[in-house]
Amino acid sequence: MQGLLDQSASVGVLAGSGALPFAVAEQIAARGQRAVIFGIRGYCDAARIESYPHHWIALGQLGRLTRLLHQERCRDVIFLGGVVRPALSELRMDFGTLLAIPKLVSAFRGGDDHLLTGIGKLIEGYGLRTVGVHEIAPGLTMPEGRITRRQPDDQNVADIHKGVQVLKAISPFDVGQGVIVIDGNIVCVEDIEGTDAMLARAARLRRDGRLRAPPGRGVLIKMPKVGQNLKFDMPTVGSKTVEGVRDAGLAGIATIAGQTLFAEPQDAIAVADKAGLFITGLPV
C-alpha cells in the first residue's frame, strides 16, 4: 500500500459499481497524483481494483473509512460509481457510523441528492475535502457542442429546449435528471427508476403501440438539478445510455457540457455514429 509519489497529495476514490472509479484513478495518476481506491463491498469491481492501491470497506463503516483515509494521507475524497440506496438492515455499522447516526438519519430522509450531500458533509466533518470529477478529472466530462457525425435538426433543438424547461420546472422537487421529448411532446419523465430504465420503458411503450412517433425522432435530455451538488451526483452518459437511446428509437442525447460524466467517450461515440444518433453538450 506504499505509493511512489508524494503521499500528501493522495486522492481517496470511494468506489461503487462501474468503470468510472478506475477511469478517474487513471486520470489522477496521469497528472502525477496517487489514487487509493476504497472499494465498496458488493458494488466495486473486485477484479479491476487489484491493479490499484486499495482497501475494501462495507457500507456503514464510516469509522473505518475515515481512519484509512487519514492513514493513506488522502485529503481529497471523490465518490464514484453506482450504489443503490441500501436498506438500513444491510448496513454494517461500525462505531464511527454509530456516532454519526443522527446526521445520517436526516440525510436518509430526502431524495438521492440530499442523501449523498449529507454523507459528503459528514466526511468533511472529519477534516477531509470532497471533490467532484469536474474538478479532478474534467477530461471525463461532456465537452461542449456536437461530438457525433449526426447533428441535431431544428425539431431536435426545439425538443432539447422544451426538455430543459421541464427539468428546470421539476428541479426543486428532487425527482430525476432526465426527460424524453419527441416532436414537442414530453413522452417520459425520469423518476427513481433511473435513466436506463426510463429508456427501456420508452422502448416498451413503443412496442406496445402507446408511443406512436416514427423512429429516429426525439431526444433524451439529461441535466443536473438546479443547485445539485455535482461532487456526489453528476448526470452520467456512456455507451449503455447511447444503446438505450438507440433501442428507444430516439434521435440523440443532449446534456450539459462540463456537468455530465462521460467516462468512455470513444465507445459511446462509436455506438452513436453506428446507429446514426447525435450526442451534444449544451453550454452551461
- Site residues (vs its own copies, CB under 8 A): 84-85, 87, 109-111, 162, 165-166, 169-170, 172-176, 183-189, 191-194, 201, 205, 209-212
Please state the closest distance from residue 185 (CB atom) to its own copies, in A: 6
CB closer to its own copies out of 4 and 109: 109
| Strands (E) located in 135-257 | 145-146, 178-182, 185-189, 219-222, 252-256
CB closer to its own copies out of 140 and 179: 179
- Inter-axis angle of helices 112-124 and 95-109, nearest 10: 140
Amino acid at 189: V
Please state the closest distance from residue 263 (CB atom) to its own copies, in A: 23
Residue 125: CB atoms within 10 A of its CB come to 11
The DSSP letter of residue 81 is S
Please state the closest distance from residue 183 (CB atom) to its own copies, in A: 8
CB closer to its own copies out of 9 and 166: 166
Please state the closest distance from residue 171 (CB atom) to its own copies, in A: 9
CB closer to its own copies out of 34 and 162: 162
Spell 43-82 as b/e; 16+ CB within 10 A means b. bbbeebbeebbbbbbebbbbbbbbebbeebebebbbbbbe
Please state the closest distance from residue 88 (CB atom) to its own copies, in A: 9
Residue 222 near residue 197, CB atoms below 8 Å: no
Place of cell 430516439: 250
CB closer to its own copies out of 112 and 267: 112
CB closer to its own copies out of 124 and 191: 191
Distance CA 79, CA 64 (A): 16
Please state the closest distance from residue 168 (CB atom) to its own copies, in A: 9
Q: Which among 69, 19, 77 is positioned nearest to 43, based on CA atoms?
A: 19
CB closer to its own copies out of 181 and 271: 181
3-state secondary structure of 71: helix
H or E stretch at 279: strand 278-282
Distance CA 83, CA 224 (A): 18
Please state the closest distance from residue 169 (CB atom) to its own copies, in A: 5
